[in-house]
Structure 1
Amino acid sequence: MVKKKVFIMNIVILFLISSSLNANSGIKRPHGDESKLLKGCASCHKGHGIYNTPMLSVRKELFCFKCHGHSIYVENAKRSGDIANDVKTEDIQKEFEKPYHHPIEKTGIHRYDEIIPEVDGAMPRHSDCVDCHHHHYVKKENKMSGIRGINKDGVKVRITSEYELCFKCHSYSANLPSNQTNKAEILNPSNPSFHPIIAPGTNTDVPSLIPPLSTSSLIKCTDCHNNDEPSGPKGPHGSIYKYILSKNYTTIDSSEGPFQYELCYSCHRRSSILSNESFQLHNLHISNVGTSCRTCHNPHGSIQYTHLIDFNRATVMPSKSMQLEYRDLGIRAGQCFLNCHGHEHDPAVYPSAISGTILHKPSFQPKRFPSRR
């Protein structure tokens, strides 16, 4: 009897929600606009269904593709009268068919009462459209409307910045894979260095930045993680590039070229990097040795060192004195204790490009050295 009452209340609430979707701001929300969804609530929901379910007409992992999928599904929705003939939607389904995408195809895992960040370390990683988009409150102007996020301290907040949405799954989740890091910790502005997602960076000397970017700029997660097709649907749904990146980013040592580090060169002028404007041995490492940007730099941030220094252990090993360390010696100068590209740095001390002072110029010409995996 109690379940029956709750079920009836759910129906009443659903009706009230549909009546109030557009009442507050005067801005029509697409999923509450009966000129677009011709059957109103019934365009999405069945009149009867199983208790404590969303009562959708098809399996929820596929449901959104009814209107946001391949053209054949959209045309079917128009023929059945669920959506108006003039409705135009992006083919998001195509993005999830790319080799790298958020794993929405994992069925039977998403729960409507689930807690994110995940508190159960044994829970399989998964994602669902409704983890990022509120099906009732999403708007064209704000795809995250109605969704709560996580701030850098792990506290639930109403989303005001894009990263707070990403931190729902990529920060304090108990089931974070061992090969992934807590991005809230890595991007924290209290770190020695970080890409300016949460706050502007602290390094005021970055000559390679491409205008209008400056050292006071803020960037977004989707400036790097996005559709690889510039004219396609925006957002980190899927990409042909690993990590759902919008452009190519080679993380293993290889020959330098515009395509190899296309992602990095989107913001950092290639000519500046290769002409050693910020580091006198950039060209030696990247062009001559074939060292990847990731060999030395972490693209999110570093909890230990300035300049995003975070040595890639797949390529870099401790020095003969068993040290693996970077020491900042001031403006465009530092020293490294490590073994890389077949040479001992114990330490290697690098000069300042501003003063022209050479503290200790390495006498070697490193040979190309294959990455250790």
Structure 2
Amino acid sequence: MIARPVREITEADLLALVSDERAESQTLDFKRDVPGRDSAAKHEFSSDVCAFANTASGGDLVYGLEEDNQGKAKAIVPAAVNADEEQRRLFDIAMNGLEPRVPGVDVRAVPVAGGHVFVIRVPGSWQSPHRVRSNNQFYVREGARKRPLDVPEIRTAFLRSAGLAGQVRDFRAERVGKILAGDAPVTLAAGPIGVFHIVPVQLAEQRPAINPGMISGKDLPLISDGGSTWRINLDGYMRHEPFDRGGCRGYTLLFRDGRVEAVCVYREPEPERLGGSIPSTAMERYLLKFYDVMTKTMREMELNPPYALLFSLLRVKDAEFVFRKRHELTGGDGRFDRDVLLLPDTLIEDDRPAQRALRPLLDMVWQAAGDIMSPNFDESGEWKPR
């Protein structure tokens, strides 16, 4: 791949490929001309995208870069086309030409003298194997060329994909178990606990190794309302609230492999509240704000979608989900009926805003408290707290 976030690639990066005589490789493929509009050209383009998606490392397709007979970058050959239209066309082919769709494909039109060069970054997909719709073939990248997968390889790829989904859920189970056992990275205060995980479901080979020492002092959002200070531990880099009343009420931990854990301790039990309480609107507000800020930070670190979102509520048996007028209208008591709630994971395949990404998850929290859905979204899906 080109060693730069795809949206930051410039003409200088492309000229460097030529001057350095960069060769095609497992993660880099050069094409002189953009794909034509006939079915054969679309098939060839889809096959190239498929090969990168089915390869752990993914890769970059560069259209507008001529190669020599040894596969080395020779010259920029700009395409004199409408850049926006061509970007959309290539993205549509990449999305619709494969089954299942490949999450995370990014198309960049790089302005150069005389036109544009198009860079298509294809992540190695956790949903592999993908096949080309036009001939039902599965392709993989091998060296500087693609080839079809044979039957045993297809079977292995399916098993690997299922294993990745299991790894995400196992990670959540392990972390929740540690928190319940009092083994969180900080001593937590008493009260109901919300735990929000964002897991980039890139293959492990793709995740950048994060050195906590290089981001020390960096601000990370919390899903609570307190200030924070930072620290580094063996797991990664963390921001946490100051200690209060014998414990901390919130932290965000960015693991070295890019996974994120955010924790908030809500109001502890009081005589009139049997199991403590969770302020529903405030909880939603902080989760929505956290998601937008945190995923922006993650993308800046090349931790791109798709993301698995997992929200858990711990120590919530009989805790009240506070929104009194709502419960009076619906007849529910607004209390959770079990101590540990592990909501189903949600997969987000693009950089959609928090209101769209978190709506299904927030509705499930309300349903766990005996209600129909969150009352804080209008008919258009906008979050407008009541």
Task: Identify whether the pair has TM-score above 0.5, normalized to the shorter chain.
Answer: no
Say which structure is richer in helix: 2
Say which structure is richer in strand: 2
Greater relative contact order structure (CA < 8 Å, 6+ sep): 2
